[in-house]
Amino acid sequence: MVIRLDGLLESVPGFTLMNIVQRIRRRLFQPREVIEGYENPELVETIFLKTMNYETNNELWPLVDGVRTVVDFGGGAGLHYKLARQQSPDIRWAVVETPAMVRRAKELASDRLKFFERIDEAAEWLRNVDLVHSNGAIQYVPDAFGTIQALCAVRAAKLVWHRVPISDGEARREIQTSYLSDNGPGRLSSPAEKLVRYERTWIPEQAFIEAHRGYQIEERGPDPGERGTRQFTFVPN
């Protein structure tokens, strides 16, 4: 199955003439070149540059209020840290990402923001973890359940998941397709648009919950950030 993200003339809040023109252009002139997977250097560079150029709007983020240390699984080039430090300048943030993203984003590292390939190394740097945060990432790893268990082993005070694709039955894999310029926060003009293709997994809800050994659900429900996905908050038993 191929998921296309470029519906035409959708009726959504904030839809502008620019959006309409862009979608018509995309429908008429489909990109021919396809990028495969999250390790692609061009995709990594796009996310990095968009994160660098993204201007925050100074809105408060209640989730990080009073939080001192965070493991951000799949946190890209540190966008979530950029948002969190607006209200918590002293927060320490460990991003766990692919090797390609870690290599590219390391120039943004500081004494309060660092990038890691391994969950245990991120937790070791922080020492005590207040929050494990992940937004739209677990569905792209080869071993989702093993990764969840590794994040639970950090023994954070809270685990928060956003945009988790939950299936009604068994786990299933599919091919997701997006435009290169749509990856990462905000906008970045691209002279040659390309398609990005990667696999993602729809995860059975009960199996997802059971993977959180030592934790119980505090909250769960539909995620407004992406249609068909769910959000969860877990706390220790």
Domain residue limits, the chain: 2-7+31-236
Of the candidates 128, 106, 114, 127, the residue with the CA atom closest to the CA atom of residue 72: 114
The DSSP symbol for 228 reads T
Instruction: Quote the pLDDT of residue 13.
Output: 45
Torsion of CA 161, 165, 170, 173, to 10 degrees: -120
Q: How many Å separate Cα 105 from the centre of its chain?
A: 15
Instruction: Quote the pLDDT of residue 9.
Output: 32
Instruction: Quote the pLDDT of residue 3.
Output: 35
Instruction: Quote the pLDDT of residue 71.
Output: 98
Q: How many whole angstroms separate alpha carbon 1 and alpha carbon 189? A: 29
pLDDT below 50 — which residues of the chain? Answer: 1-15, 18
Q: What is the CATH number of domain 2-7+31-236?
A: 3.40.50.150
Q: How many whole angstroms separate alpha carbon 30 and alpha carbon 2? A: 15
Instruction: Quote the pLDDT of residue 12.
Output: 39
List beta partners, residue 200. 174
Instruction: Quote the pLDDT of residue 29.
Output: 63
Of the candidates 20, 23, 38, the residue with the CA atom closest to the CA atom of residue 176: 38
Residue 122: count other Cβ atoms within 10 Å of its Cβ. Answer: 27
